Amino acid sequence: MRFDVITLFPEMFSAITDHGVTRRAFEKRLAELVLWNPRAFTHDVHRTVDDRPYGGGPGMVMLYQPLADTVAAMQAADERPAHLIYLSPQGAPLTQRRVEELAELPRIALLCGRYEGVDERFIQRHVDEEISVGDFVVSGGELPAMMLMDAVIRLLPGALGHAQSALEDSFSDGLLDCPHYTRPPSVDGMEVPAVLQQGHHEQIAIWRLLEKLRRTAERRPDLLDNLVLTSDQRALLKRARKLGHVSNEQLIEWGIPLD
């Protein structure tokens, strides 16, 4: 997987190349990062990359020409065409499903905006997709770009120490993750749930699935609207109902009738 990032602040990306899971992925050559600074593609002594907006208003807008020349050089640098994503509050929300789709691509380019944004004509001509990482505004696209990169990289084969980790993340099955605990079994008067200490694999699987459903219903009930259970999950819920761990009424409230 090759990432090409267009940014006025390339030094920020040491945060993703020098630390943790992503650092190991770059060291193992599972991912490659090439940084492109539009200032290198300007033609004036001041290396100007922005100008005042037509119609007035605060702030500056990133110029078309330096960005277009950057993209031309970027596309010519590798025979694989780059799918260019602009990180923008106006973009479609980034979801785990979209991350999984992006992880299948051989090459992703990320445009990190600054100031008041990018000349709309550049977006119309060169951008393949606009993506937002949330309903909030930050100073530039660098942090959202690194969030997207991190999410994609952890899905690359060999990136995680335990491949099952990615499969059990929040959103990987359409649900939020269940609670996790480690030693000691008791701290500040709070206990690890007994079922997790008993080593019964089926009971643990049932507990985790029910906790995922409870947490999702409490915090992100919208996710349940499009939930599609696997056959294994349905079997676990039927077993949980039979054992009295969950009522049929509760399942119906979650929108999961089993019969």
Q: Which residues are annotated as a binding site for S-adenosyl-L-methionine?
A: 113, 133-138
- Annotated binding-site residue numbers: 113, 133-138
Our measurement of the distance from residue 54's CA atom to the centroid of its chain's CA atoms, rounded to an integer in Å, reads 34
- Distance, in Å, from the CA atom of 93 to the CA atom of 131, rounded to the nearest integer, reads 6
For residues 98-122, one letter each, b for 16 or more C-beta atoms within 10 angstroms of the residue's C-beta and e for the rest, the string is bbeebbeeebbbbbbbbbebbbeeb
Q: Which positions are annotated as active-site residues?
A: 89, 116, 154, 169
∠ CA(141), CA(142), CA(146), 5° rounding? 115
DSSP 85: E
Copy the structure tokens of residue 160: 């995680």
CA atoms within 13 Å, Cβ hemisphere of 83: 13
